[in-house]
Amino acid sequence: MITPDSDIVFQSYGRCCNQDAFFVDFYDRFMGKSDEIRNLFRATDMSAQRHLLRNGIMQLVLHARGMPATKLKALGESHSRTGYNIEPRWYSLWFDALLETLAKFDPQFNNDIEQSWRRAIEPGISIIRDSY
């Protein structure tokens, strides 16, 4: 279902996701929040990771627009305790880093757009986080 929130978020992401600098900035912020997070990516090819995240955020946006959760469930598996072992407490820092990066890169970003992002993608983040 294309709700107003999901439409606002789709357009906001469209203003950001074609810039590699968006994803560079996101990971700088995210890793800057904790040495433990930085450590998790110490062996990661970050150029490939940026492309994977571009798609991952798109999955969250598409889920808000009614797409089935299949791909988010797969991300839940890979991030769970039997996978990368990403503890649920890390997801709020991930979301903070995303909102900070959106605020910098989306020229139209404001508090209303931030609230739309929160309402639209929190359910999808929960699917990944709660698979832990």
**Of residues 100, 17, 115, the one with CA closest to residue 57:** 17
Can you count the helices (H) and strands (E) in the chain?
A: 7, 0
Residue nearest ligand HEM, CB atom distance: 56
Binds ligand HEM (CB under 6 A): choice among 8, 16, 31, 53:
53
Q: With CB under 6 A as the contact rule, which of the stretches 1-9, 18-26, 52-60, 61-69 interacts with ligand HEM? A: 52-60
Q: With CB under 6 A as the contact rule, which of the stretches 5-13, 17-25, 90-98, 112-120 interacts with ligand HEM? A: 90-98
Residue with tokens 């999901």: 6
Using CB under 6 A as the binding rule, whether residue 37 contacts ligand HEM is answered as yes
Rounded Cα distance, 107 and 16, in Å:
9
Q: With CB under 6 A as the contact rule, which of the stretches 21-29, 85-93, 101-109, 112-120 interacts with ligand HEM? A: 85-93
Rounded Cα distance, 95 and 104, in Å:
14
